[in-house]
Every structure is written in structure tokens, then in C-alpha cells.
Amino acid sequence: MQVSETNEIKWSEVEKQVAQQAFQAAYERETVALIQQIRDSAGVVAKLEDIWQLHDFLSARRHELDGKYDYDYSSLILVFARLIQDGWLNIGELQGLEADKLSKVAALSRML
Amino acid sequence: MQVSETNEIKWSEVEKQVAQQAFQAAYERETVALIQQIRDSAGVVAKLEDIWQLHDFLSARRHELDGKYDYDYSSLILVFARLIQDGWLNIGELQGLEADKLSKVAALSRML
């Protein structure tokens, strides 16, 4: 018999679908924006210092993205809040999640 | 009184000028080539994986260049040998160094 932790948030199958779709949409938007940004930055590198600046930027973004897009139901509320706060996701795209989750996401996104 | 280590290689003022000029020329060539390579690679990034490949490439090149272009007379013979081996420097550009240094550089560049 599996014992759930008491503070574990349950996700119905429908909610999981909504979450995965929203997650994927945000990921694609942020990725496309990053690719464009790299193309733009790299097109104007003129000296070695510019290249190392690009490298520093990529190191930071990689670290951030690796952390942010770790799809895990236990941290999804927080992830969605950050994505909304950063403009990669609209709260409307989470319609289908239960009201309690939606209000948590909304409240957290205003606090970040 | 300064005591020199017995195995220290002496560089005359003329040799130092030749060395600095050759070092700078190789550095500029390699830098220009790297900048062009980054522009070319970055222009074709199409997905996140391409960006992380670019990041990995930059991490490796940065580490390599930081080590290689550390101007230090105690390691300059080896550095010149590597630069010749990698095609960034021509042995002819080291004319002005004493014969012993030139033959060490030439011999090392064939061994690397």
C-alpha cells in the first residue's frame, strides 16, 4: 500500500494534461526567445571579451533553465508562478486546474 | 642580490620584444578565428540543445585559451611550440630568439 505524504498535492489526469501543456508552451516560448537572443548577441561579437560575456550569460541561463524546467508535481505550483511572473505563461492557460491550485499560483506569482 | 634558478631560461630585451610580438600575433589570429566561428555557429542555432553545445564549446575554449595565453617566460617555449603546432604561429616569426630556444621550440612543436 502506498502512503501519500500529508502535504502532497494531488493532480487529476485532466490537471496533469493541462499542466503538461502549459509547461511545454512556456518552455517553447522561453527557448525560442533565448535562441533569438543568442543569434542576436553572437552576430555582434567583436572581441574575445564579448565571447566570454556570452559564455557567462549562457552559463547563468543554463543553470536557471535546468532548475526551472524540472517537471515535478511537487514543485509545479512554484514553477508556474515563476513562469507567469517572468511572462512566459498566462494564468488563463492553467484553466482546468482546481481553484485551490490556481489561487496558489496567482498568489505566489505576485510574491516572487 | 637576486639569485636565479639554475634552470631558468634567460630572455634578452630583444628576445622579449620578438616573443611579445609573436605571442600577440598568435593571440589575435586565434581570437579572430574564434569570433568568426562563434558568429557562424550562433547563426544556425535552432534548438536549445544547439545552444548548450555552443556553451560546452565555449567552456572548453575558454579554459584552453586562459591556460595557453598566460604570458610567462618560464613556459613560453612550450606555449610557442603549441601555437606553431596548432597553426597560429610560424617558426619564422620567432627569428631573433637565440638558436637554442628556436631549436627547442621546433623540437617540441613536433612532439606535441
CA distances for A62 relative to A6, A77, A112, B40, angstroms? 34, 21, 20, 21
Chain B interface, Cβ < 8 Å to A = 31, 34-35, 38-39, 41-43, 45-48, 50-52, 54-55, 58-59, 62, 65
Q: pLDDT tens track of chain A, all 112 residues? A: 444 454 678 999 999 999 999 999 999 999 999 999 999 888 888 888 999 999 999 999 999 998 888 888 888 999 999 999 999 999 999 999 999 999 999 999 998 7
Q: How far is A33 from chain B (nearest CA, A)?
A: 10
CA distance from start to end of chain A:
38
The number of angstroms, rounded, from the C-alpha of A74 to the middle of its chain's C-alpha atoms is 14
Q: pLDDT tens track of chain B, all 112 residues? A: 444 454 678 999 999 999 999 999 999 999 999 999 999 888 888 888 999 999 999 999 999 998 888 888 888 999 999 999 999 999 999 999 999 999 999 999 998 7
Is A35 close to B48, i.e. CB distance below 8 A? yes
* Partner residue facing A51 (CB), from B35, B46, B48: B35
Residue to mutate among B28, B30, B38, B56, with most A CBs inside 10 A, is B38
Q: Please tell me the distance from the alpha carbon of residue A42 to that of residue B36, in angstroms, as a whole number.
A: 10
Q: Is the ipTM of this structure higher than 0.85? A: no
Q: How far is B70 from chain A (nearest CA, A)?
A: 15
Query: What is the structure's pLDDT at A4?
Result: 47
Query: What is the structure's pLDDT at A112?
Result: 79
Which residues lie across from B97 on neighbouring strands? B95
